Structures are given as structure tokens and as C-alpha cells.
């Protein structure tokens, strides 16, 4: 036995003597993970989180979260002798006097943008492939929680430097708090320790940003990953892939090397962005004062849709009985986001209620095979994209020589008109793709080879698909719609209630499918050919 093996053996037995972990470890080191590029999206989010913890810790060594006024006398000459808050001054110090400080700030900010982008794209992947279905509803809810907290955490993070841009963002947040009926003014005064901007808000959000929320993140991410581990990863349909198995590579060594390597790749790319791509150059904005602002004020992208909704809101306020309700703030700032996020959270439960499907699902859907869900996702996405576009309406206007007013009116109407159109088009595309699948299974792949028959007729040779391909295109289940009476399992009344009718109608819409081809159909066709 080699010496290294003996040492490894000794370490293993030391640990197992005290924990009995050998059996567990043996099983889990060979745990199988399916391989697909889209499964790396969640990984990017996870790795960005680690990068955020590392780079963020570095920044805390110099950042001073205080709104005490100081006079700047650091390396950045244009702001010499200017009065500013200690948090702005220390951010300048990190950017200009700490070696590698600007790099770490930019890595931190880029990592935050990538973190949010990865979460959103991961969520879309999970949604469109139906990975949220039983038994993974809890992980879907945790994911929505992480997305929501991520938006808040990002906002608090870029608010910390107390520059003119981020201070304006805090001002807007304060206006949203103040708009809450009955208790708004009180909440605002409690949050800000008095009138805006006060001296306590940045120290307070600092501790939330570096301790409270990261702690909650860590807990939620841990549970999220433990559930993935315990429930085993979903997999795409294909030959040999069943609801009852997992096909892929073992954790050790392949998955460890790939996933571990991918962490370094994500970190490397983020570091490169931090090195060459300037982000949030706060020294150009100047320190915050409520009396000033810069043109083109923009939040980070994951807040942009919210800002876009606020921008397009109609000027509605109710003044009655000596009180004011600002619908122009409440509707876009709280009510619509509330509806969107609640709907998103409840979606797995709504879908299973409509389908009456209460079974476990481990094989993913191809989006085309679930036209209604895919169309709903595309529709929601178009809603968000229109809102986001309006969040940058001033930038779009100056870049493309359009008027802000024109863009605003376009998005005001577009928000209601475009999503239903997107729904219809997406559904039609899905059904067309199903038709194309059916066609290619029954008639084979077009080879582009033309052959002349003895009769002088030209035909194109079609090549029959491989058994693997045929299986991949036809394996999905097509459930018939529930009928209104079948829905009402109550037994006491034969008539379906309103709820039952609604469910039956939605179930029928979900069941609209192009029938998947069967081997019998193929045989029949082939019989005809010969």
C-alpha cells in the first residue's frame, strides 16, 4: 500500500470512528447527477453568491457605513475638500486608495448583477420545463423567496455608497413607504429615524445587507440544495431516461471536477469583468443631497421593471375625508408586484389543481408539449420586458431619437395588449412544433436527396428517424381534459359548481394538443408506401 493511501485510510477511519459517516459518504460520493447545460444556471447563481460573500467581506474592511459628514481629502482630486457622508468618502477611499479596492467593488457589483440574472434565467428554466411539479413545490417557493430577497439585497447594496444616484433611489423607496395608507408616515419616520434622509438609514441597511439577509440567504440556499440532493435532480426525457431513474455522471470524480471547475470559471469571468468593465462609478455622481439629481437616473436592471411600472402609472390620487391615497405609487409599486409574485408562488398548485395530476414528476417537459404553460410564461415575460423597457425610457429615447412621451404611451397600452398576443402566438408556435415533431416521426427526416422513379417522377428521400429520436419526440404523456362532472368528486351533487366549470374549461385549454404519433400510425403509413 502506498503511503498516500495509508494516510487517506487513517483519516477516513478517524472520521468514521466518530461519526459513522462512511456508509453515507460511500453512497453519496457516487450519487448520479444528470448533465445538461441548463442545469448550470442555478449553479451560476450559487457561485455568484459565494463570490459576493468573498468580495463583500473584503469591502467591509474599509467601508464605513455612517452618514456623519466628513470633508474628503483622498486621492480623487475633483472631490477634494467636498463635504460628504463617511460612507461616500470611504467608498471613494476603497476605489482610489486601496490597492485592488476598485477591482473588488466592481467584482462585487458585477457578481450581484450576474447573481440576479442567473436566478431569473434559472427560474425560467424551471418554469418552462415543469421542474416545479410535485414533489418540488417547496423548492419552487424557496426559489421565489430567494428571488425576492435578492432584489431587496441588491437594492440595499447599491444604496450603501450614499452617492447622488443611489440616494435618489432611497428617496423613491421612502416615497413608496410613505404612500402606504394609514401607517406610511409612521413607517417612514421609524425607518429613517425621523425626516428623510436623516443619519441612521445607511447604518441600518448596512447591517441588514451584510448580516441579516446573507444569513437568511445562506439558510434558504442550504435547504434548496439539500432538497435537490435528497429528491435527486430532474432530467430531460430521452432514451433510457424514466420517471423511476436518474441517468448521469457520478459526483466523484466527474461532477466534482465539472462543478468545481465551473465555480472557478464563473469567478474568473466575474473577475475579468471587474477588471475591465467599469460599473457604478460613484465618483462621477457626487455625494447625495436631496436638492440635486443627475439626468438618466436608472436603478440596476432587476429593479428596472418596477421603476418602469411606476413611470407609466397614470396620475391617480384619491383625496377624501382629509386623507390622500396615492394610487400612482401603490398600484405599480406594491399592488402589481404583489400580484405577480403571489401568482408566481402559487403557480405549481394552480397547475396541479387544473390538471388534477397528483403524481410525482422527475422527467422534465419539453416546453412545446405544454403549450398553455409555455404561453403563460412567455406572456409574463413580455409583461416584464415592456415594464423594463419603460424603466429605461429616457435612455431609449436619447439613443434612438424617440420621444419619452411616445415610449410611455406605447408601453402604457402595450402592457395590456402585447402579453395576450404573445400568449396566442406562443401557443400556436408550440402546437406547430408538435405538428413538426409528428411529421418528422411519421415521415422521417428530409435528406435533400432527390431520386427519379422509373415513371419519371422526382421524389425526395426521407430517412427514418433513429429509435432514440423517435422515443424522445413521442414519450410525453397527453392527458385528456377533465370534464366538469368528473371534476366534482363530491358525489352529492352531479352539477358542477362555478369553480368546477372554471377548472374544466382551463383543463380543456391545457389539453389542447397535437396527438403524438404512435407506432401503429407509422406502420400503417409504411404499409401504404410499400
Q: 103-122: which residues touch another protein (CB under 8 A)?
A: 103, 106-107
* Pairing mode, strands 69-71 and 83-85: antiparallel
314-317 LR contacts (CB < 8 Å, sep 24+): 314/412
Q: Which residues pair with 460 in a beta bridge?
A: 450
Read off the C-alpha cell for 152.
431587496
Pairwise CA distance, residues 233 & 382, whole Å: 29
* The one among 261, 281, 338, 420 contacting another protein by CB under 8 A: 261
* The one among 15, 183, 218, 424 contacting another protein by CB under 8 A: 183
Q: In this chain, which stretch among 187-195, 205-213, 454-462, 484-492 interacts with another protein, using CB under 8 A?
A: 187-195
Cβ neighbours of 296 (radius 10 Å): 10
Read off the C-alpha cell for 100.
485592488
Q: In this chain, which stretch among 252-260, 344-352, 373-381, 487-495 interacts with another protein, using CB under 8 A?
A: 252-260
502 lines the binding site for another protein (CB under 8 A): no
Which of the residues 56 through 75 are near another protein (CB under 8 A)?
Answer: 75
First to last CA, the chain: 67
Residue 44 to residues 9, 112, 230, 363, Cα–Cα distance (Å): 34, 11, 21, 23
244 lines the binding site for another protein (CB under 8 A): yes
Q: Which helix (H) or strand (E) holds 288?
A: none
* The one among 242, 449, 499, 505 contacting another protein by CB under 8 A: 242
181 lines the binding site for another protein (CB under 8 A): yes
339 lines the binding site for another protein (CB under 8 A): no
Nearer to another protein, 295 or 452 (CB): 295
Q: What is the CA radius of gyration of the chain?
A: 29
The least CB distance from residue 16 to another protein, in Å, is 23
5 to 44: interface string for another protein, x by CB under 8 A: -------------------------xxx------------
515 lines the binding site for another protein (CB under 8 A): yes
The least CB distance from residue 497 to another protein, in Å, is 29
Residues in binding contact with another protein, number by CB under 8 A: 122
The least CB distance from residue 79 to another protein, in Å, is 14
Q: In this chain, which stretch among 7-15, 115-123, 180-188, 221-229 interacts with another protein, using CB under 8 A?
A: 180-188
Which of the residues 352 through 381 are near another protein (CB under 8 A)?
Answer: 360, 362
Residue 303 to residues 42, 86, 173, 346, Cα–Cα distance (Å): 20, 26, 11, 22
262 lines the binding site for another protein (CB under 8 A): yes
Q: Which helix (H) or strand (E) holds 426?
A: helix 404-443
CA-nearest of 486, 482, 513 to 365 is 513
Residue 456 to residues 446, 451, 459, Cα–Cα distance (Å): 20, 9, 10
Pairwise CA distance, residues 433 & 288, whole Å: 54
Which residue has 411616445 as its cell numbers? 406
Nearer to another protein, 360 or 463 (CB): 360
264 lines the binding site for another protein (CB under 8 A): yes
Nearer to another protein, 163 or 174 (CB): 174
Which residue has 448596512 as its cell numbers? 206
Which residue has 431513474 as its cell numbers? 245
Which of the residues 374 through 433 are near another protein (CB under 8 A)?
Answer: 393-394, 404-405, 408
* The one among 186, 229, 413, 416 contacting another protein by CB under 8 A: 186
Read off the C-alpha cell for 234.
430532474
436 lines the binding site for another protein (CB under 8 A): no
Pairwise CA distance, residues 250 & 480, whole Å: 38
Q: Are 43 and 259 in contact (CB under 8 A)?
A: yes
Which of the residues 75 through 94 are near another protein (CB under 8 A)?
Answer: 75
Which of the residues 440 through 499 are near another protein (CB under 8 A)?
Answer: 441, 467-468, 470-471, 474-475, 478, 480
Q: In this chain, which stretch among 14-22, 218-226, 447-455, 514-522 interacts with another protein, using CB under 8 A?
A: 514-522
Nearer to another protein, 30 or 432 (CB): 30
Residue 442 to residues 365, 447, 515, Cα–Cα distance (Å): 21, 15, 12
Length of the chain: 530
188 lines the binding site for another protein (CB under 8 A): yes
Which of the residues 281 through 320 are near another protein (CB under 8 A)?
Answer: 288-297, 307, 310-317, 319
Amino acid at each position: 500500500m502506498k503511503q498516500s493511501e495509508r494516510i487517506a485510510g487513517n483519516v477516513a477511519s478517524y472520521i468514521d470512528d466518530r461519526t459513522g459517516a462512511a456508509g453515507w459518504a460511500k453512497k453519496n460520493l457516487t450519487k448520479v447527477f444528470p448533465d445538461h447545460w441548463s442545469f448550470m444556471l442555478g449553479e451560476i447563481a450559487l457561485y455568484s453568491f459565494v463570490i459576493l460573500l468573498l468580495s463583500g467581506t473584503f469591502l467591509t474592511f474599509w467601508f464605513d457605513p455612517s452618514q456623519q459628514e466628513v470633508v474628503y481629502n483622498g486621492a480623487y482630486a475633483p472631490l477634494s475638500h467636498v463635504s460628504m457622508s463617511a460612507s461616500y468618502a470611504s467608498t471613494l477611499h476603497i476605489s482610489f486608495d486601496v490597492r485592488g479596492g476598485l477591482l473588488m467593488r466592481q467584482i462585487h457589483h458585477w457578481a450581484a448583477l450576474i447573481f440576479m440574472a442567473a436566478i431569473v434565467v434559472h427560474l425560467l428554466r424551471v418554469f418552462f420545463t415543469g421542474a416545479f411539479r410535485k414533489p418540488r413545490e417547496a423548492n419552487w417557493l424557496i426559489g421565489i423567496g430567494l428571488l425576492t430577497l435578492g432584489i431587496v439585497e441588491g437594492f440595499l447594496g447599491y444604496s450603501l455608497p450614499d452617492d447622488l444616484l443611489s440616494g435618489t433611489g432611497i428617496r423613491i423607496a421612502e416615497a413608496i413607504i410613505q404612500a402606504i395608507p394609514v401607517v406610511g408616515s409612521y413607517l417612514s419616520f421609524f425607518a429613517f429615524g425621523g425626516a428623510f434622509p436623516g443619519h441612521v438609514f445607511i447604518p441600518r441597511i448596512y447591517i441588514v445587507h451584510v448580516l441579516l439577509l446573507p444569513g437568511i440567504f445562506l439558510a434558504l440556499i442550504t435547504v434548496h440544495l439539500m432538497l435537490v440532493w435528497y429528491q435527486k435532480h430532474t432530467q430531460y426525457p430521452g432514451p433510457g431516461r424514466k420517471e423511476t431513474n436518474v441517468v448521469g455522471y457520478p459526483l466523484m470524480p466527474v461532477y466534482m471536477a465539472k462543478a468545481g471547475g465551473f465555480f472557478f470559471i464563473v469567478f474568473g469571468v466575474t473577475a475579468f469583468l471587474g477588471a475591465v468593465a467599469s460599473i457604478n462609478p460613484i465618483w462621477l455622481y457626487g455625494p447625495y443631497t436631496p436638492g440635486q439629481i443627475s439626468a438618466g437616473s436608472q436603478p440596476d436592471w432587476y429593479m428596472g421593471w418596477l421603476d418602469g411600472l411606476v413611470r407609466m402609472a397614470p396620475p391617480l390620487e384619491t383625496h377624501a375625508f382629509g386623507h390622500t391615497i396615492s394610487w400612482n405609487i401603490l398600484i405599480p409599486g406594491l399592488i402589481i408586484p404583489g400580484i405577480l409574485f403571489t401568482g408566481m408562488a402559487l403557480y405549481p398548485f394552480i397547475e396541479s389543481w387544473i390538471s388534477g395530476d397528483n403524481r410525482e414528476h422527475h422527467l422534465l417537459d419539453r416546453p412545446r408539449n405544454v403549450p398553455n404553460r409555455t404561453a403563460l410564461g412567455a406572456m409574463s415575460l413580455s409583461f416584464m420586458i415592456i415594464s423594463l423597457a419603460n424603466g429605461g425610457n429616457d435612455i431609449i429615447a436619447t439613443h434612438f431619437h424617440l420621444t419619452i412621451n411616445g415610449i410611455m404611451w406605447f408601453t402604457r397600452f402595450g402592457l395590456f395588449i402585447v402579453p395576450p398576443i404573445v400568449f396566442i402566438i406562443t401557443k400556436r408556435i408550440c402546437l406547430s412544433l408538435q405538428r413538426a415533431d409528428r411529421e418528422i416521426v411519421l415521415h422521417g427526416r428530409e435528406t435533400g436527396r432527390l431520386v427519379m422513379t422509373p415513371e419519371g417522377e422526382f421524389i425526395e428521400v426521407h430517412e427514418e428517424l433513429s429509435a432514440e429520436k423517435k422515443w424522445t419526440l413521442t414519450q410525453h404523456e397527453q392527458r385528456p381534459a377533465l370534464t366538469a362532472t368528473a371534476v366534482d368528486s363530491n358525489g352529492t351533487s352531479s352539477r358542477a359548481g362555478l369553480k368546477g366549470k372554471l377548472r374544466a374549461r382551463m383543463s380543456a385549454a391545457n389539453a389542447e394538443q397535437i396527438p403524438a404519433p404512435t407506432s401503429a400510425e407509422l406502420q400503417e403509413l409504411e404499409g401504404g408506401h410499400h
